Amino acid sequence: MMVDLHCHILYQTDDGPSSIEESIRMIEKAAEAGFTDLVLTPHYFPNGPYLKTAQENREKFEILRLVSQRAGLPVNLYLGNEVMNAFKVPALFEEGTVLPLGQTHYALIETGRKGTSEEALLTTIRKLDQAGLTAIFAHPERIDFVKEDPQTLKTFRRRGCLVQMNYLSLIGYYGEDVRRTAEELLRNGMVQLIGSDAHQADAYEWWAQAREEGSRILGEEKFLRILENGGKVIQGEAVLSRPGSPKVTVSAFCPSDSLKGIFFD
């Protein structure tokens, strides 16, 4: 199983493909790259411009899933959202306007690249945790406050938040500053998940190079362990960080018989 937890494949929902034919082409490319499972995560920006609701996305998702099956594509599809941080994000999940990843308790959250602070995002993470959702911080290596101080992600990890890096960051797709930050995060064990953030088919053509670079940085075995965490997410299981001295983080609002995650410093 190889899972892409973060991709913009669902047509006519955001800045991804504008047609179902383009969506199918992306799925084909993902399959060729070796991905077996794709979580479709259309943008939702509470303040616009991307405001497609979960119900609207489900309708297109079911059509795409059926067309993909009829085309014989060997890929399992799931639906979620990538939600831009805002004060009302927890309420949007509660009312069902936006979706966690698949049928799990994992919620993919992004924040603005410039002019944002960690405090606002940490507040949302705390509120999501209280609602029984585990936040995944999308591509922090692209965010200014993380590039300025990558160690700030330790605070997010202590709050039970997982970190998802874009594999394109490893090969300089977004610039050298992002590449350096991605490498530092990876080397220091602050990345638990990998995603494509693909908006077009050619993003999957870069996967082999990115995988090679990730294996160079961490060693193939350690990098593959991070890839395996994607399968744990879509199955709703706890995600482990790299081996080290264990520190257990359990939400005070988590039922006593449910372990949301184990994290290592």
Q: Is the pTM of this model over 0.85?
A: yes
Parallel, antiparallel, or unpaired for β 82-84 and 76-79?
Answer: unpaired
Q: How many C-beta atoms surround the C-beta of residue 247 within 10 A?
A: 12
Q: What is the pLDDT of residues 211-233, one digit of tens each?
A: 999 999 999 999 999 999 999 99
Q: What is the pLDDT of residues 230-253, one digit of tens each?
A: 999 999 999 975 433 333 333 333
Kind plus residue range of the DSSP H or E element containing 178: helix 176-187
Q: What is the pLDDT of residues 133-171, one digit of tens each?
A: 999 999 999 999 999 999 999 999 999 999 999 999 999
The pLDDT value recorded for residue 241 is 58
Place of tokens 């199983």: 1
Q: What mean pLDDT comes out for the span 67-93? A: 97
123-to-109, 126, 132 alpha-carbon distances in Å? 12, 5, 14
DSSP 75: -
Beta bridge partners of 115: none
Please enumerate in sequence order all residues whose Cβ is within 8 A of that of 65, keeping only pairs 6 or more positions apart, or say none: 77
How many angstroms separate the CA atoms of 247 and 265, rounded? 7
Question: Helices 220-234 and 207-218, interaxial angle, to 10°?
Answer: 120
- Domain spans in the chain, listed from the N-terminal domain onward: 3-264
Q: How many alpha carbons fall within 13 Å on the CB side of residue 54?
A: 17
3-264 CATH, one of 3.40.50.720, 3.40.50.300, 3.20.20.140, 3.40.190.10: 3.20.20.140
Q: How many C-beta atoms surround the C-beta of residue 63 within 10 A?
A: 14
Nearest to 77 by CA among 37, 126, 49, 31: 37
Please enumerate in sequence order all residues whose Cβ is within 8 A of that of 25, keeping only pairs 6 or more positions apart, or say none: 17, 201
Cis peptide preceding 49, ω within 30 of 0:
yes
Q: What is the pLDDT of residues 115-126, one digit of tens each?
A: 888 999 999 999
Residue 260 reports pLDDT greater than 60: no
Kind plus residue range of the DSSP H or E element containing 65: helix 54-70
The pLDDT value recorded for residue 253 is 34
Q: What is the pLDDT of residues 27-60, one digit of tens each?
A: 999 999 999 999 999 999 999 999 999 999 999 9
Q: What is the pLDDT of residues 85-102, one digit of tens each?
A: 999 999 999 999 999 999
